[in-house]
Structure 1
Amino acid sequence: MESTKFEPNCIASISEVLQFLSGKWTFLVITELLKEPQRFNQLRRNLGNVNTKGLTDTLRNLEEHQMIKRQVFPTVPVTVEYSITAKGASFSEVFQHINQWKTAWDPPVQ
């Protein structure tokens, strides 16, 4: 079998991406926001009532990495909506490749 060699900068890039995507709720938040922009409590309910701190930390991390956008509306009380950015939306291609890899290499569940 032929081995694949990666350049050191490629390995570093992959490692960096996996580090910020390694949160427990990260992939689920991204997939929810790929569907439509959502407010905090709507997102929390759609994720099966994830705890508030966990969701807050995940949203801040994704916003820091410009995967999602946080928009504040001047209402009473203040309304905050989260949406996927172009950078975050482009990550859906990675999800598709992961799914193709899994389908090709894992036997179907009986």
Structure 2
Amino acid sequence: MDSTKRESSGHGHFQDAYEAARVLSGKWVFAVLVQLAEGPRYHNDLARSTGMAENKPLDRTLHRLVHTRMVDRTVHNVGGSAPRVRYRLTQRGYSVLPIIDELAGWWRATEMPEH
């Protein structure tokens, strides 16, 4: 189905929203994006600033964000020691920040009082 038919059917719009939600889902995605909004970070800095005690969940989150072109990964070889990996938001990553802010505002505005 071409993109015109897909959009007019509404199904494509739903599918696009579903894919966006799938990419942004995950316990640490928002935390990583918000930390990177402050500027590029090295892996260990991200682990500390997001409060992640284990590397595996952070690695999975970063892999997903790099794969979806929301985050850029650069390896810096430092003579004789292990390479340092730096992450930064891409234009696509920055473009999702207002959506995160909007979502947070929606949640605050519609939050139900505790019983």
Tell me if TM exceeds 0.5.
yes
Alignment correspondent of 1:85: 90
Are 1:101 and 2:106 counterparts?
A: yes
SS of structure 1 residue aligned to 2:86:
strand
Amino acid at match of 1:9: G
Structure 1: 5+ residue stretches without partners: 1-5
SS of structure 2 residue aligned to 1:91:
helix
CA–CA distance in 1 between the matches of 2:14 and 2:21? 11
CA–CA distance in 2 between the matches of 1:108 and 1:86? 37
Please give the TM-score of this superposition, normalised by the length of structure 1: 0.85
SS of structure 1 residue aligned to 2:13:
helix
Alignment correspondent of 1:75: 78
Relative to structure 1, the CA distance from residue 38 to residue 11 in structure 2 (aligned partners, 3 Å threshold; closer, same or farther) is: same
Are 1:53 and 2:56 counterparts?
A: yes
Please give the TM-score of this superposition, normalised by the length of structure 2: 0.82
CA–CA distance in 2 between the matches of 1:25 and 1:50? 12
CA–CA distance in 1 between the matches of 2:25 and 2:105? 20
Number of aligned positions between the proteins: 104
Amino acid at match of 2:93: G
CA–CA distance in 1 between the matches of 2:14 and 2:56? 31
Aligned CA RMSD, in angstroms, stands at 1.7
* % identical aligned pairs: 29
How far is the alpha carbon of 1:98 from its aligned partner?
0.9
Greater helix share, 1 or 2?
A: 2
SS of structure 2 residue aligned to 1:28:
helix
